[in-house]
Amino acid sequence: MDTIRYLKTEIELVANELKKGKVIAFPTDTVYGLGVVYDDEAALQRLKTAKGRPETKPIPTMAASSAQIEEVAIVDERSKKLIDAFMPGAFTLILPKQPSAPAYISNGMDTIAVRIPDDPFVLELLKQVGKPMLVTSANLSDQPAATTGIEALGQLDGRIDGIVMGASGASAASTILDVTKTEWQILRCGAVSEEQIEAVIGEKRKMRIALACDHGALEYKEILKKELPQEGYEVVDFGTYSHESCDYPDYIAKAAQAVAKGECDRGIVLCGTGIGASIAANKIKGIRCALCSESFSARLTREHNDSNILAMGQRVIGEEVMRDIVKTWLTTPFSQGERHKKRIAKLARLEQAD
């Protein structure tokens, strides 16, 4: 097919083509976007084909206003406040999908990602189209995102109906905030900070901690399960729940997976020595588990390694030392030091080499 080149001034023409179900690329405030109207399944199918392979992840929705968001998502009072405060901007909300909106727009999921872009051209385009659009990055799957029309054409010329020539704003990635559960959760840190979100919502978010142990550390896990909520933490207990002999990888892996998937913010895992628990946790991609027997290491592993799981051994340390380590580890922030970030990125690359 011929990919028609448009100028930004031809916005009315582009909006009309989109309304007819055309797949068109255009510059946005982040990278080059490839969009279709949200309520045309055939157009969405053609967009996926153009990108080279079926997308398994749902494509985010772009809207021009809170009213447009409400066509596809349920907006409660808390979400409305967040929309008013941070949109348009580098801010994406995961909201419950509006039941009347078609299932294909969220790949069958009952949640949906929405954003109001901070870009006058895209906002005007959305207004003229008159409805939300599904917009993904204008590149072939597994290829780098494009920031200019020329780059996008390099990958998609002949595969899409049209392209609005120009350059994208290439602004920082958006913060992604999930508000579909009672406790809100930041899925990706970006331009909007946790403090800014807390200020708008008017409540501090509880840190959610995954707990797991084997039979050799049941007592310590139970102590933490009882005491951490009193300190303002939310706890998710992945077992074990009795003294019956069990295999530590089974329980530790569940807690580690919850942290890796972002369902829990951090994890604390225990066994007799803490060694088996730490080895098991570190087998899960994305986990940086530190085995600690004193609080000096607990502080440094947060500052240097940004460890997301703490392992301890019930047969190695006393109850008070355990409390001290946990307190230090939970309250010490990552230093954000560039040299530490670089090393952590190298750890992640080691996992990719697997």
Establish whether 215 is a catalytic residue. no
In terms of CB distance, is 68 or 240 closer to ligand RB5?
Answer: 240
Residue closest to ligand RB5 (Cβ): 276
Q: Considering the rule CB under 6 A, would residue 239 count as an interface residue with ligand RB5?
A: no
* Least separation in angstroms between CB 249 and ligand RB5: 10
* Least separation in angstroms between CB 315 and ligand RB5: 7
| Tokens, residue 137 | 């990055």
User: What CA–CA distance (Å, rounded) separates 205 from 196?
Assistant: 12
Q: Considering the rule CB under 6 A, would residue 275 count as an interface residue with ligand RB5?
A: yes
Contact in structure between 221 and 213 (CB atoms under 8 Å): yes
In terms of CB distance, is 126 or 311 closer to ligand RB5?
Answer: 311
* Least separation in angstroms between CB 219 and ligand RB5: 12
In terms of CB distance, is 83 or 310 closer to ligand RB5?
Answer: 310
Query: How many Cα atoms are found within 13 Å in the side-chain-facing hemisphere of 41?
Result: 7
| Tokens, residue 248 | 């530590």
Concatenate the DSSP letters of all residues of 53-122 into one string.
S---SPPPEE-SSHHHHHHHB---HHHHHHHHHH-SSSEEEEEEBPTTS-GGGGTT-SEEEEE--S-HHH
Taking CB under 6 A as the binding criterion, the range among 25-33, 192-200, 273-281, 294-302 that sits at the site for ligand RB5 is 273-281
In terms of CB distance, is 176 or 271 closer to ligand RB5?
Answer: 271
Taking CB under 6 A as the criterion, the residue among 248, 251, 291, 301 binding ligand RB5 is: 248
For residues 192 to 231, the per-residue mask of contacts with ligand RB5, x marking binding by CB under 6 A and - elsewhere, is ----------------------x-x---------------
Establish whether 304 is a catalytic residue. yes
In terms of CB distance, is 119 or 214 closer to ligand RB5?
Answer: 214
Taking CB under 6 A as the binding criterion, the range among 14-22, 112-120, 144-152, 267-275 that sits at the site for ligand RB5 is 267-275
Taking CB under 6 A as the criterion, the residue among 156, 256, 271, 310 binding ligand RB5 is: 271
User: Residue length, the chain?
Assistant: 354
For residue 175, which of 96, 85, 105 has the smallest C-alpha distance?
Answer: 85
User: What CA–CA distance (Å, rounded) separates 182 from 214?
Assistant: 30
User: What CA–CA distance (Å, rounded) separates 291 from 310?
Assistant: 6
How many amino acids of this chain bind ligand RB5 (CB under 6 A)?
A: 8
With b for 16 or more beta-carbon neighbours within 10 A and e for fewer, the 325-350 pattern comes to bbebbbebebeeeeeeeeebeeeeee
Q: Residues 213, 246, 264, 271: which is the catalytic one?
A: 271
Residues lying near ligand RB5 in the complex (CB under 6 A) are found at: 214, 216, 248, 271-273, 275-276
